[in-house]
Amino acid sequence: MASSRVCVSLVVSIIALCIFAPTVSAHGANTFLVIARGTYLQPDTMEILQNDTVEIHNSAESNRTVRIDFDGDGLYNGSNDVNCNLASGEYCALWLEPANWTEGQWTIEIIDENGSRMNASLTVQADLHGVNGNPIGYEFGLDDEEPQDDAASSSTFNNWLPLIALASGISGLLLLSVVKNRQVGSSEEE
């Protein structure tokens, strides 16, 4: 009878821990592939997030140049402009570093060694971790007139860690006692 109560207590504790434990999610960096085939790009339109990487693969039997005029000045010599020369089978990787690549649209120009050109449209969207439709900087439950201490709000998860450790330890002890009680009960029956 006592062991069944312990089992029920253990199950209820685990369920409560799962319900009340905070959850965290974020966007991880992804790699987006563009294949420059003989006479076309696949795909030729991209919508990606900051912090992602675009890899442009040259699958043609000719050399190609990949260019992006980041600052729109018509030259390809700026610090964030892209100018890659690719032999057949090579690729050019472009990391959309959030500090440099803001929301916007750019044209990727691919020039074949024979002078033919292909263009792709690159649309970069802001990577707003966890905002999902809320205005930037808004947090539920905060009074707009009170200043928010960023250090205190970022350590909210750290405040849960001792409670999670304690609950895990208690659950482990309860499980250990249930196993011991079953072992003692089964040896007495023999």
**Nearby residues of 53 by Cβ (< 8 Å), 6 or more positions away:** 29, 30, 31, 32, 93, 94, 95, 96
The pLDDT tens digits along the chain (190 residues) read 566 676 667 666 677 666 666 554 455 678 888 898 888 888 888 888 888 888 999 998 999 999 988 888 888 888 888 889 999 999 999 888 888 888 889 898 999 999 999 998 989 888 775 444 444 554 555 554 555 555 555 556 567 777 788 888 888 888 888 888 887 766 666 5
Rounded CA-CA distance 138/152 in Å is 16
Residue 69: C-alpha distances to residues 78, 108, 180 (Å): 8, 8, 70
CB atoms near residue 82 (< 10 Å): 19
pLDDT, tens only, 54-86 = 899 999 899 999 998 888 888 888 888 888 999
**So what's the pLDDT on residue 19?**
64
pLDDT value of position 131: 45
Q: Residue 156: its pLDDT value, please?
A: 61
What is the predicted pLDDT for the residue at 189?
62
pLDDT at residue 111, as a whole number = 92
Q: What are phi and psi of 35, to 5 degrees?
A: -105, 120
pTM greater than the 0.75 cutoff: no
* pLDDT computed for residue 25 by the predictor: 47
Long-range contacts from 97-101, C-beta under 8 angstroms, 24+ separation: 97/50, 97/51, 98/50, 98/51, 98/127, 100/70, 101/50
* Per-residue confidence (pLDDT) for residue 87, from 0 to 100: 92
* Domains of the chain listed by start with CATH number: 31-125 (2.60.40.420)
